[in-house]
Every structure is written in structure tokens, then in C-alpha cells.
Structure 1
């Protein structure tokens, strides 16, 4: 008879051997082949996560334009406060990934445990703070009176579920750091299946409306979190988080905070920027905002392929930097840029061709459909530059541990380019008159910001100052 502890230890040993084999492939194998091997599970996982939003958008669209817009209002608020945790998570990813690249699995486990306990604290604090500032945030964004009641109810429930959602994200990041991109997909399939089932039940059968959509999302995420935590603590993932690793370790906390704080600041500024951007877009009314929400959901769905490849690239860059294979890390990022630019370009073309029938699936509103043409022509054409260049560059900076660079790039894109340009071309008479004082000016400014950020990011990337490791 095999005792449970012995079984866990045996499983853990097998997982470490597989992790070592994956490490060898990442450091020495064919770049494109390894990239796609790591990427396809992440792509599926991204599609699954976007499907959460698509599902909510689809069902809430049956309740009308105002209910459909509720999720779009809540995410910029919550993202601002959750950004600290995101920064620390990415710092943990780069540390764990580089330790694995260096072959030091003991320190990788200790770093994973420190990251997990830190995220528990910050996600809980973010949830409480989000709920407290919600009324003020809605007022600041100038959320219209028709949307505000729906946005408030939806946001309260989503905010309460932040800790569980964040722990599940941390589990995904740790799995990706070690090169296991398949396990998160299996769990995400379970959660999205639950969400698809629970959404219509809670929204219509139980008559909970937008609150039902939020509750379905939180419950589904919680199931995934419980499964993920169990895997990490059992040792069957190649990493093992024990009670000892979860105890406060101020040395590791200090390292994670030091590396993650710049990224956290950048993420916070980035998320708050979208709060400001929502206010700018809301100035043109419910129709413009509804068109923006649906369009971005569609783009996220289709470009999940390119974003998945970027995340796989991050794993390869982190481990190659840890092994001091700097030139290989640079080539990996460069090839990812070419692949992602082509994929994002095809995605935008597909949306342009099938825009009207696709929009009618979500909301058969002639005014919103007409407005979506403006979003496409003035903003979406810039998406290949964002996904193909900017996302890859900032991903290379973050995964190598040079988070100050990714912070500067994120803040520059939003605060240096997007918000000023959107406001100037949307509201300042001298420039807004070029677009007839319509939403065209706002979306033109948003598109231009992607072009400019991509150019600056590429120039900085080519300097190569990010190609050095951060671990001892």
C-alpha cells in the first residue's frame, strides 16, 4: 500500500523530470517549434478567458444596451487596484522562471510560495478597497444614469470575488514559468463550462439580471482556484508550495516587491488610465461606449492567438535569460513580433469583413452597429502594432525582470500618448473639428497611440539593455 505522502513525493519527482526535459527544449530546441508547443495551450486558455466576457456580453445584451455595458465599466476600476498584485505576480514569474532556467528548483519552490502568500494579502486588500471606492469611481467616469445601477450591482459582486480570481491567475503564471501550459487549460475549460451553464440560469431563470452574470463568473473562478491550489500544494506540478514556503519570508518578499513594484506602478497607472479613457468615451454617450465594449471583446477573442504566443515567448525568454542565453532570448522575441503582427492583422481583417452580422449576435441595435464602423476604421487598424510589437517588447522586458522598462512603456502608451491624443482629437476645438466633433477623434487618438508606442518600444528593445539576468 502506497501512502498519500509517498505518492505525492513520487508524482512530484516525475513532474520535476518532465520540467527538466522542458527546460532543455526551451534552452536548446527549435525556437518556432518550442514556441508553438508552449503557446497552443495558452491560446486555448486565453480564448476560454475571453469566452467568459463574450458569454456575459451575449446574455446581458438580451437585457439591453445599459446592462451590456456594465462589465465594461467595472474592469477599469478593479484593474487599477489589482495592478499591484499583477506586478508582483510578474516579478514572481520572472524569478521562478529564471531559477528554473538556472536549474535551481529549490529556490524556485521558495519563490513560488512567497509569491502565493503575498498575493493572498494584496488581492484581499484590493477587493475591500474596490468596494469602498466604487461609488466615487462611477461618478468620476461620468457613467450615465441608465448604465450606473447595472454597473454598481455587477461590480460589487465581481470585487468580492477578486481574491479567488487572483489566486487562480497566480497558479496560471507559476505553471507557465515552469513550462506547463496545459494544466491551466484543463481547469479553465471546467470554469468556462460552469459559467456558460450558470449565466442563463442566474440571469433569467432566477431573475438576478446583471447580478446573476457576476455571481456566475465569481463561482466559476472559485472552482478553478480550489483545483489550482490543490495541485500546487500536492507537488504534482513540478513546483510544490508547502506550509513552510507560505510562511512570511521577508527576504523573498523584499525581492518580489523590489522587482515587481515598478511593474505594479505601471499596471496601476495603466488601469487608472482606462478609467479616464472610459470617461472620455462616455462623453459621446451610451451608443459609442456599447460599440467600443463589443468591439474590444471581439478583438480580444480573435487576437488571443497572438497574445498566447507572447506569453509563451515570456517563458522562453525568462529561462534563457536565467541560463545566460541572451542572444537566443533576443531572437525568440524578434520572431514572435513577426508572427504576432501577421496574426493580429488577419484578425482585424476578419472583424472588418464580418462586423455587421457579428454585432447583431450581441446587440441588434442599428445605432451601435453604425458606430462600430468608426471604431474599426480609426482604432482597430492599429491593433497589429500593439499586439505584434508593443506587447512583445513589454513582455520581453518583464520576463527578463527589467520591470522599470515595461512600466515606462506602459505609462508612455497610455498617459503619454493615448489619453492626451484621445482628448485632444475628441474635445479640443482646434483638432476635434477635423473629425466633426464626433467620436472619430477619440478613436483616432487611441489608434495613433498604438503606432507611436510600438515605434518607441521597438527602438528601446533593439538597444539590448534588457538582456541581463536578475537572479544571483
Structure 2
């Protein structure tokens, strides 16, 4: 147990900071996957190839977001049992989650691969980039089991308070991805498909290494034959928490798909600008996402330990960390967005560079809203109220659909830039009262248990 971390005791700021930093580095590395793919594709294969990679970004988020959300949800009961020191049930939850991952990832892979062409047609993907977009999306879907298992194993380790181990495997995998990108695209001339192959293979290696290390080094996770038996009651518990988290990501992505479809209809230049801006934006959002993930583990453990006041204190500390970070990021993006755009396109592409900078300036201005969204949503999920948190995704979906159907036809790319910020505002309007409700429920549970 030397590598696990009990977050139910001790000073909150250093606990959250030390837990969040490896998560941040890991998320930055995952975004480096995306940045490297897009940068190498844009520089070596051209604007059309870059647009073909970006044309299906929202679809990838829809499918992989569901998988990753389920994985995060599967980790919450593990964190709760760890916080309650019920290690036997914790091990059995881990064993069942690995079996569920196999069934779900294979089923999702089969369905998405069959629907690949239809999805791109429905999204109004331009004809000149359709073929490359199809192969990129197809290969990404084939690699879903690799992504599913890596995220599940990482979620289990985080549930035990270890955010460092997944980072080291991801670091190795990122370096491998960069090398394979250069090999597949520059040397072997496999084009856009080569970028997808490099990413999928790298994630598969990371998943295998994480699995081997987890069972060799974490004694607390070593199971007996009885622990490894499939238990329907535990499977239902995992799905009860994991499925709403996955659906929340997917519901959010439906709005993103509508927004991206509207942007695709504006032409290849807007698709390329959207692709570059999203890659840059996601890179800077890593801290907010990492802080949210840290809060899910923190709240899960403290929920299991029966400490609601400590959850509230953690939300306040996390919000303070978020504000400091957001101020720094706004300074960077408002002064350097055009320079970041040059990572993807040549200086002669002035229209794409200007649109990329516009998108980033608008997004950065609303980062405080997104930061609060991440903290509250993950805190609610960590406490086990994943179905309630899912409705914040519905709020985001409605906002993006309204922007796509009403604003984009009227104002074009300007409206696309405000699509995500509008969704973040809608989500916070739901999450703030939702968190207050959850916190009061948790306090009431503790009072009843104390009096009984």
C-alpha cells in the first residue's frame, strides 16, 4: 500500500496539488498526442489533410468520451471502498470492471466501425477530405479497446490515490507516438491513416504496461480466485455509476457534433482553423480537467469516509487553484494565439491564423466558467451522484444545438467561437444548485448515521 494515498486526512491544498500535478502532466501528454498528430499532418501533408483529421473530432469525443466516462465512473466505487477501508470489495470491483471493459469495448468497436461512413456523411464532411477522414476515424475506432483499458487502469490507480504511475507509462507512450508519427507519415508515406495508427498503437502499449505494473507492484490489488469471479451485483453497481458518466460525455459530444457539422459547412478553411484552435484549447484545458479528476477521487474517498465538510473545503481550495491558473492562461493566449497557430499552418494562411486566434481569445475569456464546471461536476460524480451530473451534459448539448441551428447560419465562424462558452454557462447554471443539493444530502446522511 506504499504507493496508494489516503486523501481523507491531512492538509487539503498540498494533497490536491500533489495529486493533480501528475494528472496534469499526463493530460498534457495526451494532448501532445493530438498536437503532434495535427502538427505533423498539417506541415507534411497540407491543409486538406489537417482538415480531414479535424472533421471527425467531435465524433471521436462522442465515442471515446463515453468510454473514458465509463472508466472514470468504474473508479468511483473503488475510491469509495478504499476510503472506507473495505479492500476485499474493492478488489472484486476491480476484477469485475476489467471484464466489463472487455465486453463493452469490443461491442462499441464493432458498431462504430460499421457506421463510420454514415457518420461522416451526416456531418456534412467536405468531399475533398472525406476519404482521409474516413480512414482516420475507422482506425481510431478499431483502437477503442486500447483506449478503454488504459483509461480504466489509470482510473483504478487514481482511485487508490496514485496519479504518478499512469503518467510514467503515458510519457513512454507519447515518445513512442511521436517516433511512430514520423515513421508512418514521413518515411512510410501512410498519410493521415499513419497518424491514427501511431496513436492507437502507442495507447495499446501504455495499457499493457500499466496492467503489468499494477498487479506486480500493488499488493492491495492482488486477487484470489474468489475475488476474480464475476459478480452481477457489483457489475450493476459499476454500470449504475459508470454509464451515466459515459452518457454525460456523449450527450455533451452530441452538441459538439452539431456545432462541428455547422462549422464543416462553412468550408475547408474554417474546418482547419477549428481543428488547430481545438488542439491548442484542449492543451490549455488540461489543468482544469486534471483538477476535476482529482476532485472526483478526493470526493470519492471522503464520501466513503463519511466526511462531507472536507468535500466542501476541497471545492473551495480547488476553486482557488483554478482562478490562479486561468489568469495565467488568459495572459498567454491573448498575447500568443497567432504564434500557436503557426504550429499547424504556414504563415501565408492568414485567414486560418486569424480565425484560430479569434476562437482561442473567446474561449480563454470563459475559462473561469469552465473551471467551475469541472470542479463541481467531478465532485458530484465522486460523491456517487453521476446521474445528476449527467444532466449538466444535457444543458451543454442544448446550448450547442441552439448555437448551431440559430447562430452559426447568421454569424458564421464568430458564432462557432461562442458555441462552447455558451454551453459552459448553461452547465454551470445547473451544476451550482445541484452541488448544493448533493452537499446537503451528504451532510444529512452523516447526521443520521451519527445519531443511529
Shorter-chain TM-score tier: over 0.9
Of the candidates 369, 394, 402, which is equivalent to residue 377 of structure 2? 394
Q: 1:262 to 1:236 in 2, by over 3 A?
A: closer
Q: Which residue of 1 aligns with 2:212?
A: 230
Of the candidates 84, 88, 98, which is equivalent to residue 116 of structure 1? 98
Q: Which residue of 2 aligns with 1:467?
A: 442
Higher deviation after alignment, 238-247 or 63-72: 238-247
Shift of 1:107: 0.9
Q: 1:344 to 1:414 in 2, by over 3 A?
A: farther
Q: 1:396 to 1:371 in 2, by over 3 A?
A: same
Q: Which residue of 1 aligns with 2:315?
A: 333
Shift of 1:445: 4.1
Q: Does 1:405 align with 2:394?
A: no
Q: How many residues align?
A: 442
Shift of 1:425: 1.7
SS at match of 1:77: helix
Shift of 1:85: 3.5
Q: Is the 8 A contact 1:89 1:260 kept in 2?
A: yes
Distance in 2, Cα, partners of 1:30 & 1:92: 27
Deviation readout 1:144-200 (Å, 9 max, x if unpaired): 112211111111111111101110111110010000111101101110010111101
SS at match of 1:401: coil
Q: 1:391 to 1:241 in 2, by over 3 A?
A: farther
Q: Which residue of 1 aligns with 2:173?
A: 191
Q: Is the 8 A contact 1:83 1:267 kept in 2?
A: yes
Q: Which residue of 1 aligns with 2:145?
A: 163
Report 1:422-437 matches (<5 A): 422-427=404-409, 432=410, 437=411
Q: Which residue of 1 aligns with 2:368?
A: 384
Distance in 1, Cα, partners of 2:442 & 2:401: 31
Shift of 1:18: 4.5
Distance in 1, Cα, partners of 2:418 & 2:60: 26
User: Structure 1 length normalisation: TM-score?
Assistant: 0.88
Q: Is the 8 A contact 1:116 1:246 kept in 2?
A: no
Q: Is the 8 A contact 2:3 2:218 kept in 1?
A: no
Q: Is the 8 A contact 1:203 1:210 kept in 2?
A: yes
Distance in 1, Cα, partners of 2:301 & 2:312: 12
SS at match of 2:322: helix
Report 1:43-192 matches (<5 A): 43-62=24-43, 63-192=45-174
Q: Which residue of 2 aligns with 1:7?
A: none
Distance in 2, Cα, partners of 1:340 & 1:241: 39
Q: Is the 8 A contact 1:88 1:115 kept in 2?
A: no
Distance in 1, Cα, partners of 2:330 & 2:442: 32
Of the candidates 340, 353, 356, which is equivalent to residue 369 of structure 1? 353
Deviation readout 1:342-393 (Å, 9 max, x if unpaired): 313321331221111221121122110121233134443212211x111111
Shift of 1:246: 4.3
Q: 1:223 to 1:284 in 2, by over 3 A?
A: same
SS at match of 2:151: helix
Q: Is the 8 A contact 1:422 1:443 kept in 2?
A: no
Q: 1:196 to 1:18 in 2, by over 3 A?
A: closer
Distance in 1, Cα, partners of 2:320 & 2:128: 44
User: Structure 2 length normalisation: TM-score?
Assistant: 0.92
Deviation readout 1:15-67 (Å, 9 max, x if unpaired): x2543xx21xx112111011111111111111111100011011001211121
Shift of 1:279: 0.6
- Can you give the 5+ residue segments of structure 1 that lack an aligned partner in the other structure? 1-15
Q: 1:332 to 1:150 in 2, by over 3 A?
A: same
Q: 1:273 to 1:452 in 2, by over 3 A?
A: closer
Q: Does 1:440 align with 2:428?
A: no
Q: Which residue of 1 aligns with 2:431?
A: 457
SS at match of 1:354: helix
Q: Is the 8 A contact 1:402 1:466 kept in 2?
A: no
Shift of 1:446: 3.3
Distance in 2, Cα, partners of 1:363 & 1:179: 41
Q: 1:373 to 1:270 in 2, by over 3 A?
A: same
Q: Which residue of 1 aligns with 2:198?
A: 216
Q: Is the 8 A contact 1:84 1:268 kept in 2?
A: yes
RMSD over equivalenced CA pairs, Å: 2.1
Deviation readout 1:370-420 (Å, 9 max, x if unpaired): 21233134443212211x1111111011111101111001111222x2221
Q: Is the 8 A contact 2:173 2:202 kept in 1?
A: yes
- Can you give the 5+ residue segments of structure 2 that lack an aligned partner in the other structure? none
Q: Does 1:309 align with 2:283?
A: no
Q: 1:71 to 1:466 in 2, by over 3 A?
A: farther
SS at match of 2:306: coil
Distance in 1, Cα, partners of 2:377 & 2:82: 21
Distance in 1, Cα, partners of 2:340 & 2:235: 47
